[in-house]
């Protein structure tokens, strides 16, 4: 019984969670007031070590593989998610393949057939030095994949560190965190990249650093309201009161509650980093000239766009497809990996819980599933 929160408690927590996502201060207040009536309930949960009563109470216990399966299946059923998944898989596959094989070696040039139209030998034509456009785009996909992944990592680290500072209960740290973010957020990515490129020269690291820092700041700024809401919630206060460490509270309770915002922000970072790579490479502060990337392909072909518009189409198309897919991926992850938004996750978890809880208290479990069905109908 201790492992299962009371029915009323659970649904109220879910409701408050849903409002949290809307970002309403009100819900926090409501949760606090709601919990005032049941202080013992909260405390009980803490003692049992259940990780996330408000959201993951039923979610944390699902095996990773099952959870992943459900998430992917849900994503696949949404048109946007399916598009994103297909493009992501293709992107990964092409990147891996390009490590071992491209139709032509990257060093291949043939000046006699520069700016050729698509033919059987060169499906996407050739560029200004007679190199195969397809080969360069394939090889470029791995550079851009690396840039996107690294940017997401760097911006996540910076963003979460700043968020942690801003929602800290040390007042000076929180205030200075807010000031720092507000001040630095004004620096544009391009300017930062130019600043880095002067001493270090054009490189992938410059793109990742510039994007990582600016997107991290953006993310911190956007995540902060949700995170501070969670930080002031009763369960966090309770966790702190029961002696849970600062970092554990942050990563177990605050970060997961910001998951929807995080998913969208990070996928935006990934998508925008691809655009930034193209733009910065065009400006000459992105990837160096011999490294294949989509920005490189765009830059070399855009020089003669008024005569050979077709050559610039291919890298443009690839960038557009991938960036759109990344943006949609974020939305899909938010909708499908969040048990509040995805009833299937709750169902699966609920079903499992039902078996276990049912043997202990059939009545309560029955009402849990009822409440879930209600919400499913709503959504």
Partner 1 sequence: MVQSNGAHGMSDATETDTTAQATARQERGEENQQPRVAADASTNVSTDASLNAHAKQRKSGRKPIIWVIAALVIVALVACCAIVQTHARKAATPTASESIAIGIKLAPVSLDIRNQSGSALEQLLIGNVYEALVSRNSNNEVEPGLAKSWTISDDGLTYTFKLNTHMRFSNGDTLDATDVAWSINQLKAKQYYNSDQVENLKQASAPDATTVKLTLSKPDANMLWYLSGRPGLVFDKDARYDAKTTAIGSGPYLVKSFDSSSKLVLQANPNYWGSAHKARTNTVTVRFLPDDNAAFNALTSGDVQVLSPVNANMTGKLKSSGKYTVKATDGSDKFVLAFNCTGAKTSDKRVRQAIRYAINHKEIIASRGGVDAALGGPIPSVDPGYEDLTGLYPYNPTKAKELMRQAGYSTSHPLKLTLTYANVYGSELGEQLRSQLSRIGIDLSVNTVEFSTWLQDVHANGDYDLSLVDHAESHDFYKWTQPDYYYHYDNPQVQALYGKALAATNDKDSARYLKQAARMVSEDAPADWLFAYRVSVAQVKGVTGFPSRLTQSVLPLWKVAYTPVTA
If one counts every other C-beta atom within 10 angstroms of the C-beta of residue 69, the result is: 13
* Comparison of 104 and 327: residue with beta carbon closer to partner 1: 104
The string of DSSP codes covering 8-70 is HHHHHHHHHHHHHHHT-HHHHHHHHHHHHT-HHHHHHHHHHT-S-TTTTTTTTTS-HHHHHHH
> At closest approach, how far in Å is the CB of 124 from partner 1?
17
Distances 252 to 57, 74, 156 between C-alpha atoms, Å = 12, 25, 16
The string of DSSP codes covering 66-97 is HHHHHHHHHHHHSHHHHHHHHHHHHHHHHHHH
| Backbone phi, psi, residue 377, to 5° | -60, -40
* Comparison of 12 and 126: residue with beta carbon closer to partner 1: 126
> At closest approach, how far in Å is the CB of 200 from partner 1?
13
* Comparison of 76 and 115: residue with beta carbon closer to partner 1: 115
* Comparison of 201 and 362: residue with beta carbon closer to partner 1: 201
> At closest approach, how far in Å is the CB of 96 from partner 1?
24
* Comparison of 83 and 108: residue with beta carbon closer to partner 1: 108
> At closest approach, how far in Å is the CB of 65 from partner 1?
45
* Comparison of 229 and 312: residue with beta carbon closer to partner 1: 312
Sign of CA dihedral 244, 246, 248, 252: positive
Residues that bind partner 1 (CB under 8 A): 107-112, 114-115, 128-131, 284, 288-290, 296, 299-300, 302-308
Could you tell me if 333 and 365 are in contact, meaning their C-beta atoms sit under 8 angstroms apart? Answer: no
Q: How many residues does the chain have?
A: 379
> At closest approach, how far in Å is the CB of 209 from partner 1?
20
> At closest approach, how far in Å is the CB of 91 from partner 1?
25
* Comparison of 56 and 311: residue with beta carbon closer to partner 1: 311
> At closest approach, how far in Å is the CB of 320 from partner 1?
20
Residue for token pair 């990780």: 51
Q: Say if residue 325 is exposed, middle or buried (CB neighbours under 10 Å; 0-12, 13-18, 19+).
A: buried
């Amino acid at each position: 019984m201790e492992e299962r929160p009371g029915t009323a408690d659970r649904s109220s927590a879910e409701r408050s969670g849903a409002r949290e996502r809307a970002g309403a201060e009100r819900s926090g207040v409501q949760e606090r007031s709601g919990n005032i009536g049941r202080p013992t309930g909260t405390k009980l949960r803490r003692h049992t070590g259940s990780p996330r009563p408000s959201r993951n109470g039923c979610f944390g216990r699902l095996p990773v593989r099952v959870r992943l399966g459900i998430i992917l299946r849900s994503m696949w059923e949404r048109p946007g998610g399916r598009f994103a998944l297909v493009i992501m898989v293709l992107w990964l596959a092409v990147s891996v393949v390009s490590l071992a094989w491209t139709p032509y070696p990257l060093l291949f040039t043939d000046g006699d057939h520069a700016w050729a139209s698509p033919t059987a030998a060169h499906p996407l034509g050739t560029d200004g030095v007679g190199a195969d456009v397809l080969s360069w785009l394939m090889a470029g996909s791995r550079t851009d994949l690396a840039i996107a992944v690294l940017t997401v990592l760097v911006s996540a680290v910076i963003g979460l560190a700043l968020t942690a500072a801003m929602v800290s209960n040390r007042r000076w740290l929180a205030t200075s965190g807010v000031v720092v973010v507000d001040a630095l957020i004004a620096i544009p990515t391009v300017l930062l990249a130019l600043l880095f490129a002067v001493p270090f020269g054009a490189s992938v690291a410059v793109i990742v650093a510039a994007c990582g820092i600016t997107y991290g700041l953006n993310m911190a700024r956007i995540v902060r309201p949700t995170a501070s809401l969670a930080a002031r919630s009763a369960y966090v206060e309770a966790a702190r009161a029961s002696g849970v460490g600062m970092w554990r509270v942050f990563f177990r309770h605050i970060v997961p509650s910001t998951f929807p915002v995080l998913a969208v922000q990070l996928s935006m970072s990934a998508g925008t980093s691809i655009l930034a790579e193209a733009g910065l490479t065009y400006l000459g502060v992105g990837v160096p000239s011999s490294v294949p990337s989509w920005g490189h392909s765009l830059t070399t072909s855009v020089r003669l766009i008024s005569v050979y518009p077709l050559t610039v189409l291919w890298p443009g198309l690839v960038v557009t497809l991938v960036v759109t897919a990344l943006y949609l991926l974020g939305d899909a992850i938010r909708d499908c990996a969040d048990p509040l938004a995805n009833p299937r996750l709750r169902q699966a978890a609920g079903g499992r819980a039902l078996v276990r809880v049912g043997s202990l208290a059939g009545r309560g479990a029955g009402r849990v599933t009822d409440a879930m069905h209600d919400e499913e109908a709503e959504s």
